[in-house]
Every structure is written in structure tokens, then in C-alpha cells.
Structure 1
């Protein structure tokens, strides 16, 4: 697929948002970035006998109504690496009518349907399972290069030969094994022997205890990779990274960073904003090229876009004017829009927020396509994107919305969680955070099946990953 067709998939439309500041410039670009989840019987007719036989009524056995199991919702917890990128997901499945994890059969079915093996070719797929799960089901369809099973250790102090055989079988099938550090006292030798990853409960350990454990593990098994779970704040993530923990799980990803200062507008960002505004006003491409010439960094970026192998030019462009002509309005707008997040003094966490925001926006847009106009779908997309802009900029949402010329319904949803769009935003957040009962309730209120929710979620996550990687 060439770059033009890929970009056309990524961004089908425009929000028509006016702008007069840095944040409004961001608002405009969002409109242009665009691309878990399923009787009765008839009474038996009398059988007539022959001429010499009386009619015989055959009575069928009563039909027992079988209650169909509720659909399974697939949960994905982001795994953030030391570079502050989404490195993968911890997968689990639940039914909306239960607080318990879905049974192994249902979990395996939905993971297979979502082609987790293909996902694990690109990113870490962490899948919890027990010894019995492995022996009673075939998990090999889930195995890709980065598939890792979070294998439950026995409750007692003794590890059976059967458990060891399962661990050996998992490794033999080409998957990796993660074990929980909560069992480090009783099962230290087993962990050191079998684990490729160790899952640490960050909230359950004092910092001094954690540091002692980390030092001993590095000496005993230097190649063991560590994952910190239940990380709630960005400073905790930075602490983990500074102590050699490779990955973090937790609610911190969309939380404000209390150590972050509100961002200032850099020269490159100012130039990009003006280019975006002029593109929206249908200014001549030659005039837009003149704006780009004000900043060498923008010139380099735009020319690199045009000379990308994915564009497929026979001869490289040698000037900013040529580059803008080759890219054209739509492609240029889309490249610059995503590039806005990377201009200036960007924070490492911006990439996580960008991908999550893109996924929210695309998820809402996909849901909207079933029942709403294209213009309304554009607003749904913008709603998802803007919902994380306060975290991105380190500003209160009221300050963000105050700079944007938004429709009242968008402002109400972002500021007060009220109005006709609020439930859509709540649904996207519930899906992202794995709040299964909220997902089921909101989907029902808005008239969507859980199958439709899952389908939109899968496509949105894949699209957001593709969009972010496009301009790296």
C-alpha cells in the first residue's frame, strides 16, 4: 500500500473547527488525523396410524430453556515501556453480569477471534492462565513472537511435576512465561528457573523492600525482565524506569503529571499552526511553502515526508516548494497534524497520550458511522481527541475548552460530563479502562451491541498504532 492510500484510510474528514491560538491549532488538526464485541420448541404433531390403527399422540419431552451466556468483553491494560511507549497489553475477559474473569474457553475464543498471535508479532501480549487452563485447552493459536503467559503458581509451597511440565510445554511451544513476584518467598527457585518476566505489585512493596529485591534479582538472574503492576502516578513510572524495571502497568497513563509544567509554544509549533490554518483556508500552496521557510526544522520535516520511500517518487524532491506540491493539501495536513505532537519540547509521555487519544477518537467515530452523519462523526472523533488534551498540555480542561470554538454539546461533555455526547465519551473511557459493567450499561443505553463495541475497539486500537507509527 502506498502512502497516499494509507493516509486516506487514516483521515477521512474534517472537523471545521476555527482556531486562534496554539490549542485551537491543535483542535483543528484533530479533525484531520482520522481512521469487544453475541429457544423454544414446537409441539410434536400427532402421528397418524394406518387404517386399522388408532391415532397415536407422541408426547415429546419438555423443552428446557437454556439461558444464553452473556457476551464476553475483552479487557486490555496498556503495558508502558521505559521509553514511555505502549509496548503491549495485558489481556483478560469478563462478562458484564459478573465481577469474575470469564472462563478459559470464552477467554480463549475471544482472544483467538481478535488474532492475538498477529498482535504478538508487533507487541507484547500478556495473557493470564492457570496450569489447568493450559492442559485442558489449546493455546497454541495465540502464540506469536511476543506472546507471554502469566502462569499462576500453586497455592502451596510445593511445585508439582505437572506444573513444571506445563511450564516446559509453554516454552517448548515458543511462548514466554511471566510469574508473579508475590510468590517470591515460597517459590523463588521456581521463578528463577522458569520466569522470563516477573510481575511486581508496586503498591504492595515499600521502596526500600523493592530496591533490595531488585538488587538480589539482578545478581541471581540478570536476564529477568521486570514488570511493575498497579503504578498509579507518572513519578512512580519514572522511579521504576530509573531502577531498571522494563515495563509498567496501571492507571497512570491518563493521569495528570504533577511534575509537568504547562508547555510553552515553540517556533516550530507556531509555524505548523499557521500552515494548518492556511491549509484550512485554501491558501495557495506556494504561500504555505513561504510560511514553512521560516523554520528550518519544519522544512526538514516536510521534505522528509515527501521523500519517504512510501511515497514512491522516482526522483527525490530538493526544495520545500516541491515537497508541498508532491504531498498535496490532504496528505500535508495529515502529516503536519500528527507532527504537532512531536514539535518543540515534547514530553516522553506525549506518545502514549497521542495513541490513546487517537484510539478514543477513532472508536467514537466508528460507532457514530452506524447512526450519525459524517459531520457528527467528525465531532465524535474530536471529542475523543480533546478528552486527553488537558493531560497532554498540563492544563485544566476548562483552560483548554476556553480557547476552542467548540459546539456547546462538545464543551458540556468535556467540562461537565453532561449533554447528549457525554455518554459516548464515558463509553470510550469505560472501554479503555476495562470497566465492564459500565461498558454494558452505556452500550445498551446508546443502542449498541457488545459485539459492535468490541469490533470498533479492535479497529480503533490498530488504527491508532498505525497512525502513530506512520510519522516516527
Structure 2
């Protein structure tokens, strides 16, 4: 992972994998997103939304794709859904979204109207769940059940939100037939309280024991805990989505992770230009941290002719900037069993890469692009360390432009960070406005967004660690 991120020890482009590494492609075959990606996209690509989906350890395990206009699902007719489904399918194919599925699953929203669309047969059966939605003017029929059975016989899997399939679209008998065929059942925590409770009051988990549950729009750690810690619910819920990942309650200073604080102190010393002896002294206070650094430096992938045994030698070989980046990654992974930290790291890597690439396409010089990377990388440090962002950033002595964007949402880098966050929230109007402000085409921004998501995944893939 680290060699892919840094491009080796002081050699080559540190943002691209070496030619013999996983995910690398020959230079001649690598498209320039700004010049080649935009023409193949459907003009309304921006209306297709995607959200990260987590497991009970808060690791990212899937993405959910839907058409933004289809959120008014109860109002959408069969003819409208056909348009939504065509847009969804064509966008996913044109964007080659299956690149995201090398390590993940996809939950793709379609309507029951489009179950006979031949394009569905091109989706990988082992990676995709089709989330069914009912048109307002076309009830569930025996023919739809038969179509689902045909797909399931070919290995395809399905999900739906029971609250959308009430008596207005399916008889009680067909409701049972439909729900019994689902692999995943969806519970939307953003719905009214009665709707959230209804599946349990109707005893749906007991009626359909083979289905796992997906909790969507979880807005707090408390709601997440209800799903993973309540005895009955914990056995059923498998997938989770919402803002709970980045919400936090500040911890007392005594509860802050000691290893993280040691890493932050070394990062501060690097930013302050401290000499090698002082940095070496900090490493020696944490033998595990020193071991991890020397193991990385002496890894066979770095091809060194002799073993490096001191911090001074390490600084000479990789340089202060690369050591700072290595410590940044380590900051997020001090606890290997903590899925939440890894998920936050992935999102931070995505923001960092996305903002850096936007800066390059916008003509910013190299140092500004490096600082854009830093801005994205540290934008979730408060959620990681469970302290206020100002307190988390204080030891790092970041460049003023980076700090201003992170703490005050002002300055040169603030629009880039706002754009990254708007893209995560699928706020299409804001994405379009900010892209225009930065003189970037929305289609290019969208392509760079997907590329950054794939890149962040590859950085964390087990094969590249």
C-alpha cells in the first residue's frame, strides 16, 4: 500500500502505482480523465447517487446506487421509473462502475417494471443486489414474481424496503411471495417512527429468517448501537449506511489513544523541522512504532541492498514528506481491528486524492496540490480521534491555507473540500455550482470522483499492503 501511495523511496510519481504492482496499467493505456472520460458519459450522469455501506465493524463493504429524482419513489409512475432505470443502468455501464466492486458489493436500485431489461444480465451476479422499487401505478403481479424467480435461478440477488410494498401495490398473498424471495430487507431510519417500528411489530424478521437487514440513514452512534447491540436486532442486521461514521462525542483527554498521540508528536516534530536525534528519541519511546517503520523501510518491495536500522538512515532514504505521509496512514490504523478507523481512513484518502486531482486539472502548482492532499487527509481527524478538529490539528502546525480550509471553511482550498463533501452527500446542485466556480466540467469532476474512490480502495486492499 505505502509504495503505491508514495511511488517508492524517492523515485517516480508518488501518486501512481508502479507498473508491476496490483492495479497498474501500461502508461499508454491510462486515460486522462480530463480529456477522455467526459464524452462517454450520459449528459445526466450527475443525477445518479451512490453511498458507502458498512458492516457491523463499520468497514465499507458495499455501495448503494440510486437515481436522485427517484427518491420521490411513492410518486413515480411506471413510465418515470423506466427512465430512471435506463439512466441508472447506462450510467453504471458507461462509468465502468464495476471497478468499484473488486473488493465490494453494489446495491443497485431498479423498479419492478425493468426486471425484464436484458442489460441486467450483464451485471456480475456475485457482486450486485438489485433493490426493487414499486411504481405508483403498477402493482405487483404473479408475472413479476415469476420474473424474480427467473433471475434468482441465474444467481441474481434482490433487496427491497418492505414499507414501500404495502397493500397499495401488493396483495397480502403477493407481499408474502415477494418478501420471501428477498436476500436483504431494508429499514430506513429517516422514515417516521411508526414506519421504522412497523417491520418488527409485524414480526417480519421472524417471518423471513433467511433475509438479512440493511439499516439505511443511521444518523447517530446511538441508532447504530441499537442495530448492533440489541440482542434480537444484532442477529439480523448486516449492512448500515448513514452519517453515524463521522459523528462523534468528544472524549476526555485521558481516553485519547496514546499511540495516536505519539504519532501526532512525531508529525509535529517533522513539520517543525526538528533534527533526526529528536525524532529518533520519540520513536524509541514506542518500540512497536519503531518496529513498524523499520519493517516498512526494509520491506523487499523497496529493494534495498542492506538493512536500515536507524531513524536517521530512514529519513535520508524516504525523506521527511514521505515519513509524514506514512505516519498519517499509521494514525488511522493504530488499531487493526477497528473497522471504523479504516473506513475513516478510506474516506480521507478519497478526499485527499480527489482534491489533489482536481487541483492538478485546475492548473494549481505542485505544492498547492500537495497541500490539497493534506487538507483532504486531515478533514476527518476529529472523527478519528474523537476530539474537536482544532484540538486535533493543533500539534501538526499545518500550512495556513490548509488550516484555514479545515477550521474556517475559507481560503484557496475551501471550495475543493466543500466539493469533496458535496460529492459524498450527493448534493448535485452544490457539486455543479462548486465545479463551475473552480472552472471544471461536472462530468470530469464525476469521473475523478469515481477514480478517487477506486484508488482509495486499492490503497487499502489486502493484496497491496
Distance 1:259 1:423, change over 3 A: closer
Number of the residue aligned with 1:435: 427
Report if the CA contact (8 A) 1:146-1:176 is conserved: no
State which of 149, 159, 165 in structure 1 corresponds to 2:130: 149
Report if the CA contact (8 A) 2:162-2:179 is conserved: no
Could you list the runs of 5+ residues in structure 2 that have no partner in the other structure?
16-33, 74-79, 168-173
Distance 1:327 1:237, change over 3 A: farther
CA–CA distance in 2 between the matches of 1:220 and 1:8? Answer: 53
Number of the residue aligned with 1:78: 52
Matched, 1:329 2:318: yes
CA–CA distance in 2 between the matches of 1:307 and 1:161? Answer: 64
User: Over aligned residue pairs, what C-alpha RMSD do you find?
Assistant: 4.1
Number of the residue aligned with 1:355: 346
Report if the CA contact (8 A) 1:151-1:177 is conserved: yes
CA–CA distance in 2 between the matches of 1:453 and 1:227? Answer: 30
CA–CA distance in 2 between the matches of 1:323 and 1:465? Answer: 32
Number of the residue aligned with 1:18: none
CA–CA distance in 2 between the matches of 1:139 and 1:458? Answer: 21
Alpha-carbon offset, residue 327 of structure 1: 11
Number of the residue aligned with 2:330: 339
Alpha-carbon offset, residue 172 of structure 1: 3.5
Alpha-carbon offset, residue 201 of structure 1: 1.5
Number of the residue aligned with 1:33: none
Distance 1:118 1:413, change over 3 A: closer
Higher mean alpha-carbon deviation, 100-109 vs 189-198, is at 100-109
State which of 14, 36, 41 in structure 2 corresponds to 1:12: 14
- How many aligned positions are there? 414
Alpha-carbon offset, residue 271 of structure 1: 4.5
Alpha-carbon offset, residue 409 of structure 1: 3.4
Report if the CA contact (8 A) 1:203-1:231 is conserved: yes
Higher mean alpha-carbon deviation, 402-411 vs 380-389, is at 402-411
Alpha-carbon offset, residue 12 of structure 1: 2.9
CA–CA distance in 1 between the matches of 2:87 and 2:164? Answer: 27
Q: TM-score, normalised by structure 2?
A: 0.74
* Structure richer in helix, relative to its length: 2
Number of the residue aligned with 1:59: none
1:370-381 alignment runs, 5 A limit = 370=361, 371-381=363-373
1:151-300 alignment runs, 5 A limit = 151-153=132-134, 159-183=140-164, 186=167, 188-204=175-191, 206=193, 210=197, 213=200, 216-242=203-229, 243-244=233-234, 245-254=237-246, 256-258=247-249, 260-261=251-252, 264=255, 266-273=257-264, 276=267, 281=273, 291-300=282-291
Matched, 1:111 2:110: no
Report if the CA contact (8 A) 1:427-1:439 is conserved: yes
CA–CA distance in 2 between the matches of 1:403 and 1:302? Answer: 21
Cα deviation 1:253-277 (Å, max 9, x = unaligned)? 33x3237555755553454445556
State which of 454, 466, 470 in structure 1 corresponds to 2:458: 466
CA–CA distance in 2 between the matches of 1:401 and 1:275? Answer: 13
State which of 92, 109, 115 in structure 2 corresponds to 1:134: 115
Distance 1:408 1:271, change over 3 A: closer
1:118-129 alignment runs, 5 A limit = 118-129=99-110
| Structure whose CA Rg is larger | 1
Distance 1:177 1:304, change over 3 A: farther
Number of the residue aligned with 1:385: 377
Cα deviation 1:345-369 (Å, max 9, x = unaligned)? 9965322222112211111100111
Number of the residue aligned with 1:91: 65
Report if the CA contact (8 A) 2:267-2:396 is conserved: no
Number of the residue aligned with 2:401: 409
Alpha-carbon offset, residue 156 of structure 1: 8.0
Could you list the runs of 5+ residues in structure 1 that have no partner in the other structure?
14-35, 39-67
Distance 1:433 1:367, change over 3 A: same
For 1:174, what is the secondary structure of its paired residue? coil
For 2:126, what is the secondary structure of its paired residue? coil
For 2:344, what is the secondary structure of its paired residue? helix
Distance 1:265 1:240, change over 3 A: closer
Distance 1:357 1:4, change over 3 A: closer
- RCO (CA 8 Å, sep 6+): is it higher in 1 or 2? 1
Alpha-carbon offset, residue 378 of structure 1: 1.2
Number of the residue aligned with 2:76: none
CA–CA distance in 2 between the matches of 1:72 and 1:140? Answer: 24
State which of 439, 442, 450 in structure 2 corresponds to 1:447: 439
Report if the CA contact (8 A) 1:88-1:125 is conserved: yes
Report if the CA contact (8 A) 2:264-2:396 is conserved: no
Alpha-carbon offset, residue 438 of structure 1: 0.9
Matched, 1:424 2:434: no
Number of the residue aligned with 2:31: none
CA–CA distance in 2 between the matches of 1:209 and 1:454? Answer: 33
Matched, 1:367 2:358: yes
For 2:58, what is the secondary structure of its paired residue? coil
Higher mean alpha-carbon deviation, 366-375 vs 266-275, is at 266-275
